Amino acid sequence: MILLLFGPPGAGKGTQSAFLIEKRSMAHISTGNLFRANIKNETELGLKAKSFMDAGDLVPDSVTVGMVESELESLKGASVIFDGFPRTVPQAEAFDELLTKMSLKIDHAIFVEVPSEMLVERLSGRRMTADGKHVYHVTFNPPKQEGICDVTGEELIQRKDDSEEVISNRLEAYEKSTAPLKDYYESKGVLKSIDGTGEPEEVFGRIEAILGS
């Protein structure tokens, strides 16, 4: 199964991906996490992505699509969640070509809807492990011990781009480049919109209802 999770920054894509990974043993491709790992390891790809990410701008499509292509090839055959990719119409078109080439197709493109006024609060209180796999919120989903991951015991970090001024640029980039994907996937007949408010478990229930057993 190929499942896309998209929606604005802070919609809960990473949080819902963690449920899917745990409960459905799905593989996960998060372009944000992949870029951050490349930046940490000082790879050429990381170098290309860094200045865009720091400013809250999207990384160029060619860099992003190339990275996803090699990840997907390495996961051949697995059920995969795409978290935060595609984020532009050209990425979505390139992705369709790639999937066709691999004899795959998108089963569901789930759009997680959250009112914009809730996003800043979610993002500014977000804390996560350095690899982005475990996501918390200082108020809405605090770890048992402040600043420490419940699962791994690592110290949690606050992303630099979760500062208020970068957040506003990310939200603008979302409106301009990513929101048009709703129409794109609607026209392909795979769009499912869900309410992303309420407890994370409730939101997960809405995803489960789409995926079935």
Catalytic residues: 13, 87, 126, 159, 170
Nearer to ligand ADP, 53 or 191 (CB): 53
Nearer to ligand ADP, 1 or 60 (CB): 60
Q: Under the rule (CB under 6 A), what is the footprint of ligand ADP?
A: 9-15, 31-32, 35, 52-53, 56-59, 64, 84-87, 91, 122, 125-126, 135-137, 140-141, 161, 170, 198-200, 203
Whether residue 60 has a cis bond before it, omega within 30° of 0: no
80 touches 180 (CB < 8 A): no
Q: How far is the CB of 126 from ligand ADP (least distance, A)?
A: 3
Which residue number has the CB closest to ligand ADP? Answer: 32
Nearer to ligand ADP, 52 or 184 (CB): 52
Nearer to ligand ADP, 94 or 191 (CB): 94
Q: Give the residue among 106, 108, 100, 98 at the shortest CA–CA distance from 66.
A: 98
Beta strand 126-128 with 108-113: parallel, antiparallel or unpaired? unpaired
What angle do the packed helices 13-24 and 200-211 form, to 10 degrees? 60
Q: How far is the CB of 87 from ligand ADP (least distance, A)?
A: 4
Q: Give the residue among 3, 4, 8, 72 at the shortest CA–CA distance from 34.
A: 72
Q: How far is the CB of 13 from ligand ADP (least distance, A)?
A: 3
Q: How far is the CB of 102 from ligand ADP (least distance, A)?
A: 18
